[in-house]
Structure 1
Amino acid sequence: MHNMNPDTTPIAAIATAPGRGGIGVVRLSGRGLEPVMQAVCALPPGRLLTPRHATYLDFVQADGSVIDQGLALFFKGPHSYTGEDVLELQGHGGPVVLQMLLQRCLEAGQGVGLRLAQPGEFTQRAFLNDKLDLAQAEAVADLIEASTEAAAKSASQSLSGVFSKVIHGLVDQVIHLRMLVEATLDFPEEEIDFLEKSDARGQLARIRASLQQVFEQAAQGALLRDGLNVVLAGQPNVGKSSLLNALAGSDVAIVTAIAGTTRDKVTETIQIEGIPINIIDTAGIREAADASDEVERIGIERTWGAVRDADVILHMLDASRGPTRADDKIVERFPPNVPVIRLWNKIDLSGHRADIEQLPDATHIYLSATDHTGLHLLRAELLRIAGWQQTGESLYLARERHLVALKAAREHLDMAAELAAQNDQALDLFAEELRLAQDRLNSITGAFTSDDLLGVIFSRFCIGK
């Protein structure tokens, strides 16, 4: 159970997206929903909706006039999404009618303190009432925001508890090893060479291998969630906008023969193998010919800001013209730790063939944005840099905080392995690193476990044996 006292004040909100639609839902959760149910659904005194049964009826105002007709569903706690009593009123999805229905509910619920829900409050209550853990609660938002089919599938996996189950499995393994260590610390005379007899090093090695596998899958999932930030840089008129259009499959940027048409950055998200690739087409990088052109200067400054934050830089050059001193100046300002792909565009004019070369300075790709030659080479290279592997295994749509927690847990287990190499001299430190790793893993699902392992020790094996 979580060590927080959930607010049980009844709450209400429109649960469907804004705008017109076939169906709109007003959702209520909390104690004392009966007066609202009777008033809004025009039920006779003493009669309530049958739990988990859809009832078609009129939703009415205080004077008996009909607001809408639809389905009313009642879920008796704890058998509901939030773990509390939940009432869902499903009407027609027009913004005005839904607002009228919501206002009517709030009016009818004044006596029980019904109020508007805060953003995410229904899911927060589900977490506080142990209906979802933290990773599952975050998966609700990730499923809603998923920008690709692959991301939606992974969010669905996390929501169904697959990611949490794996984390709980790791925690159980860590607890089992901690339990052995703690018992040995309490009864030193029982175990002369604990590390050998209990195969503690072998157990730790297996935990570390499992954690590494989870981390790799979570990192792939984070890629599905956030995508790869790719900056298109280069001189004006080398074909950056044409490439963006070719990759996206639509005219998202202005393409004209006038140098420097793109005055600001244009971001377009495309999919490659289900991964979102966020391509930032920047203002053509050049020294402003006229220093008094403030718009030009701001555009160029924003470009360099985007370059500094990139996962990959696509430096585009004109293959028919070759590199110039201006291109060299652009390269000089690239951050040293960001991978660069040098794109030689316009091979339809230069006579080069589509090709890819791994050179010490960068990966060079020859292509034509206008006739789409060589685009497949670029797509494959972007996937390679992203570290994408089609594993066929389920990926977890991890967030940055999940990766940070997994990394920290891995560091504590690495330290435990170093201590294990010192034999039984550092068992107390060994146990402490395991505890810290366990805390980090627990932070992913929000499990607040007691630090007292005595109950676990007695339940798992008999000390007095």
Structure 2
Amino acid sequence: MRISGPLARAIADNIVRRPLSPRVATYARFVGTGGETLDRGIALRYEAPHSYTGEDVLELHAHGSPVALDLLLQEVSSLGARLARPGEFSERAFLNGKLDLTQAEAIADLIDSATAEAARAALRSLEGEFSARVREIFEQLVALRAHLEGTLDFPEDEIDTVDTARLGEQLEGALDATASLITQATLGRMLTDGVRVVIAGPPNVGKSSLLNRLARDDCAIVTAVAGTTRDAIHVEISLGGLPFHFTDTAGLRATSDPVESEGVRRTRAAVAQADHVLFVLDASDFGARDSGDETERLPVGARLSISSVWSQPCALAPAAMRSTSRRRRAPAWRSSSSI
């Protein structure tokens, strides 16, 4: 239990009832108002500003019994403390200059990390790596601006003549560093939020089989009946340390069935929100199907990120594939890969 604020020292005197040296772990008895023992554990006191929040802080390390912890919490509350709001300790650390905004956000990212790579990225930001790179770029730009403005405002003074080539090189270096930082930030967002991938395409081409293969589990029902999938199925998969949120959707086709029509509507809505669309087509009957109709009806933003997967016969679950002796090449207007 951690208590932060001006009452931390008074609460320590009431509960521990013995001197606590700053930053020294002390085994102590935790006592209530009537002198009864609530628990025994480790007490730690930090004096402002040498603490996480920059305030006086008391930490009480008790046993894990919910009942004992509840008794201790009631005693601490009766002495003037209250439950902290979500993120309030980090907020106080930010307001007291112990963390910058990027580091404060990194704490939330670390808590929400779904993969080891995401946790490592959040720790690097928490240690100030991202902030240091931002400051470095900022200082470069300020120095360039100061030199340029000084030369323009005071041409008669003995200021170094602007070397256009050198100035351009320094500016290019700052721009390259900024581009690299943006790329890193984008990857950091993907590590935290994950990549949203929607598996779309006509009915009965193997979308659900593909999802099951990626997840290595029977997440979606697979049958030979077209239109088996009516609602979106969401699966989270970690690939190479990067979290992916795959969504299997209902097949795209014109239908009079009101239930299937709702599934198609939800498919298009999911596509509109996706980072990438994995558009699956059955190569065995490509010649009989105008795939352009399905792709052209997708939102413009989604069409720009479509990856067409031409499913080969029996490469996935045979129930979702049509076997054929003829192999057709994927058309030149769309990149393709075999599954």
* Same fold, judged at TM 0.5 (above): yes
> Which residue of 2 is the match for residue 361 of structure 1?
333
**Where does residue 83 of structure 2 map in the other structure?**
116
Q: Is 235-244 or 252-261 further displaced after alignment? A: 252-261
Structure with the bigger RCO (C-alpha within 8 Å, sep 6+) is 1
Instruction: Give the Å deviation of 1:160.
Output: 0.7
Assess, with a 3 A threshold, how the Cα gap between structure 1 residues 186 and 235 changes in structure 2: closer, same or farther: closer
In structure 1, how many angstroms separate the alpha carbons of the residues matched to 2:254 and 2:164? 70
Contiguous gaps of at least 5 residues in structure 1: 1-25, 368-465
**1:43-89 Cα shifts (integer Å, max 9, x gaps):** 1xxx4322212223333333334433322221111111111111112
Within the candidate set 1, 15, 29, 1:40 is matched to 15
Code of the residue aligned with 2:262 in structure 1: it is I
1:323 & 1:54 partners in 2: Cα distance? 75
Residue 49 of structure 1 corresponds to 20
Give the Cα separation in 2 of the matches to 1:176 and 1:331: 50
Tell me by how many angstroms 1:156 deviates: 0.9
Match of 2:262 in 1: 298
Alignment match, 1:339: 305
Pair 1:234–1:350, CA change in 2 (3 A): same
Residue in 2 that maps onto 1:62: 33
Q: How far apart, CA to CA, are the structure 2 residues paired with 1:71 and 1:260?
A: 61
In structure 2, give the amino acid aligned to 1:149. A
Contact 1:262–1:283 (Cα < 8 Å) also in 2: yes
1:137-170, CA deviations, whole angstroms, 9 ceiling, x for partnerless residues? 1111111111221111111111111111111111
Any stretches of 5+ residues in structure 2 without a counterpart?
Answer: 315-322
Runs of 4+ aligned structure 1 residues displaced above 6 Å come to none
Distance (Å, rounded) in 1 between the aligned partners of 2:274 and 2:329: 22
CA distance, structure 2, for counterparts of residue 218 and residue 361 of structure 1:
32
- Equivalent-residue separation in structure 2 for 1:146 and 1:339 (angstroms): 26
Deviation at 1:191, TM superposition (A): 6.2
Give me the whole-angstrom Cα distance separating, in 2, the residues matched to 1:33 and 1:193: 57
1:29 paired to 2:37:
no
- 1:102 counterpart residue number: 73
Contact 1:315 1:341 in 2 (8 A): yes
Task: Tell me whether 1:203 sits opposite 2:170 in the alignment.
Answer: yes
Answer yes or no: is the 8 Å Cα contact 1:184–1:194 preserved in 2: yes
* Greater Cα shift, 282-291 or 272-281: 282-291
Partner of 2:48: 77
- Alpha-carbon offset, residue 37 of structure 1: 1.3
CA distance in 1, matches of 2:162, 2:332: 47
Aligned residues: 329
Task: State the alpha-carbon separation in 1 of the partners of residues 204 and 192 from structure 2.
Answer: 33
CA contact (8 A) 1:343 1:366 kept: yes
Instruction: Go from structure 1 to structure 2 and tell me whether the alpha carbon gap of 1:87 and 1:260 turns closer, same or farther (over 3 Å shift).
Output: farther
